[in-house]
Structure 1
């Protein structure tokens, strides 16, 4: 009897121990941890797919697909194929958050085409440097000094200079006109989470964007050769102050995108080709990057990591890029990066014309196939390049054309 009792007690003890090990306490603790993470307080947009409007992480892993990186702390992030537009995974993709200087991608995509040629010079006035937010990042633009448009754009992309942004805005027609144009362009890109208040991304009431929208801005901007050049430049010379009776000297500026230049604790990311980072007290750290590996081009956006780790925005972005390259072809997309409205209209017009000329259903199907090559999402494709993404915008539709080399400035990257 004592032996039987002992056996029963042993079995019960083992059972109780196993219950403790797998009890809901572990899950409850995880829930408590998750509850500490901020979450969207209202409904999110479903542009690009229903799942992109859902709260939390959205991913559909297939056979052999790697799991997402651990310890992702960003409030919002997204990983997408820049060519097909497929969203491989996302987390609160449409959460409207302060964008900080990543909004400068929209600024450049809007204004850059209008201020040509790059050699165009401009004499900066005192008024053009007024209204810059306190504590803004500056490249060192001086009043009563001449600068080329090329100089000013380097100041925007490399040093995130709000002084350069304000001067370029005045050249474009003034800050209010620039803000209005940026808002119109965001709507054209179907970036409907974005509200523009300041052209430089400086904290302003009600100025918001989303990881989804920032990714659209980067994808659109990278269609432009000048944008690609500036976004990929690691270092450049910037004109200094003109002292009386002396030759004007320049000083070196370095890109603040640590995945390009590297930093303590951050290695330059292999295949990186831009795009833009940002930081404000209200927005935290934000980053959108584009990289190429083995012919695959990915976009990633990370907004406001809560991690105490230094440079968490870069380490989390690099981890998501690594995951994306490994997971490509092994996951079911959870959404798509939508094309601009003009591209949708162009596709519709072409389809209508083709249908009108078609003689029967087979003819119409052939016309539709011609208008929308397989794998292009109807209107989108991109040209891969050495170290980054290049594409050409023609009549509102992105077409596969030819390979383009990166400009010389873009090759000035640290050795890996």
Structure 2
């Protein structure tokens, strides 16, 4: 096994091969306009036109706080998700596994990894904390880390069931889970709409925010008797976060997850904050031959979303989880730190020396209600998104 991620060819460049077409009608979760194929947007006065250089088979731009969908293209088209499905894996298992737990890896936990899987470099008969394993999942998209964490959750089959149940609770109904790591599997699909719902849910968890926005970290190496355990550096493969391969770090970026497989092509879900706006964008399978197209197209859509905020009529909404309880019209305000015990008003230190990431969270001004259709649920007006300067490796 190698610690370097493996990426397969992302799309077929044969111009004579017919490209797949979206269904004539898709799911209407979030609004009837989202069920229609093609690009959907309602431009108002002064709104910029959508960027032309966006070739994704499916994409969506949404306000993370209000849930408004600003624009979309085949939002509910069910497509292979690649490693963006790891967002659902993390959102499902993070609350179940204390991150200080130490686990010794059994050989069978590293069996049945797909050929060409992205790996962080976990070794059998070596011990790792759950915190270490989550760094491997988010930074290196390690399928080995996913399989070990799944074994700690009573196995792959149990984890798939848990993920599917959680997807349904989030109303991510386009999503069918077959493999928890997002590796290509028959019947495994999601959609730009669902991946955006999942990311929105995950970003309301402090640990999820920390891991998905960590730039680099020290990962445990092999244990050797009588010697101090060495570490090796791992870096996030999200190019909009780290900047690499001709891609500059996107201003205000705070995660979330990228992926690439033969069937899925390149996929990406990102979240960014600018001028008190927090936007989510998902791009699935760009058809362009442009290098790093999924990141460039996501950046263009984010640029458009920030420029268009307040100048477009929403075409739909990100629905709340089924467990979200409707609130009275005049609810009591939530004090800082009450929701999820995040205590967002206070800076949060990194939990492990050597992990450079959102070591310190931004202050949060409080919370407001976000109206999502007929139901409402409580989210913070400003999540503690990371300040890039605080994510750089410590001296």
Normalising by the residue count of structure 2, what TM-score does the alignment of the two structures yield? Answer: 0.83
Compared CA separation, residues 369 and 74, structure 1 to 2 (3 A): same
- Quote the residue 1:411 is aligned against: 390
1:291–1:388 Cα contact (<8 Å) kept? no
| Change in 2 beyond 3 A, CA 1:37/1:413 | farther
What is the 5 A alignment of 1:273-312?
273-312=254-293
Match of 2:83 among 95, 101, 105: 101
Which deviates more from structure 2 when the two are superposed, residues 64-73 or residues 402-411? 402-411
Decide which of 174, 180, 184 is 1:203's aligned counterpart. 184
Question: Which residue in the other structure is 2:96 paired with?
Answer: 114
1:178 aligns with 2:159: yes
- For 1:5-16, list aligned pairs within 5 A: none
CA change 1:407–1:121 in 2 (3 A) is farther
After superposition, what is the alpha-carbon deviation per residue over 1:343-387, rounded to whole angstroms, capped at 9, x for unaligned? 1xx21xx5xxxxxxxxxxxxxxxxx422599xxxxxxxxx99749
**Partners of 1:291 and 1:389 within 8 A in 2:** no
2:330 is matched with 370
CA RMSD of aligned residues (A): 2.9
Aligned with 2:50 (options 36, 43, 68): 68
Where structure 2 has 5 or more consecutive residues not aligned to the other structure, the ranges are: 1-14, 334-343, 346-360, 370-374
Cα distance, 1:403 vs structure 2? 6.2
The one of 110, 114, 117 aligned to 1:129:
110
Report how far residue 243 of structure 1 moved.
2.9
Q: Report the secondary structure of 2:217's partner residue.
A: strand
**210, 216, 232: which one aligns with 1:235:** 216
Among candidates 216, 238, 244, match of residue 257 of structure 1: 238
Distance 1:403 1:213, change over 3 A: closer
Q: 1:331 to 1:282 in 2, by over 3 A?
A: same
User: Contact 1:139/1:160 (CA < 8 Å) preserved in 2?
Assistant: yes
Structure 2: distance between partners of 1:243 and 1:406: 38
| Alignment check: 8 A CA contact 1:290 1:389 kept | no
1:181–1:398 distance in 2 versus 1, CA, 3 Å:
same
What is the count of residue pairs matched by the alignment?
350
Residue 399 (structure 1) aligned to one of 371, 378, 382? 378
Aligned: 1:219 with 2:197: no
- Could you tell me how far 1:72 is from its partner in structure 2? 1.0
Deviation at 1:391, TM superposition (A): 7.9
Counterpart for residue 358 of structure 1: none
Residue pairs, 1:50-61, within 5 angstroms: 50-61=32-43
Q: Following TM superposition, by how much is the alpha carbon of 1:407 offset from its aligned partner in structure 2, in angstroms?
A: 7.3
Residue 88 of structure 2 contacts residue 167 of structure 2 at CA under 8 Å; is this kept in 1?
yes
SS of equivalent residue, structure 1 residue 332: coil
Q: Any stretches of 5+ residues in structure 1 without a counterpart?
A: 1-32, 351-367, 374-382
Q: Secondary structure of the residue that 1:342 maps to in structure 2?
A: coil
User: CA 1:388/1:330 → structure 2, altered by over 3 Å: closer, same or farther?
Assistant: farther
Partner residue in 2 for 1:377: none
Structure exhibiting the larger radius of gyration computed from Cα positions: 1
For residue 246 of structure 2, give the secondary structure of its aligned residue in structure 1: coil
Q: TM-score, normalised by structure 1?
A: 0.79
Q: Retained in 2: the 8 A contact 1:87–1:336?
A: yes
Q: Does the 8 Å contact 1:290/1:297 carry over to 2?
A: yes
Q: Name the structure with the higher helix share.
A: 1
Contact (CA 8 Å) 1:261, 1:413: kept in 2 or not? no
Q: How does 1:27-46 map to 2 (within 5 A)?
A: 38-41=20-23, 43-46=25-28
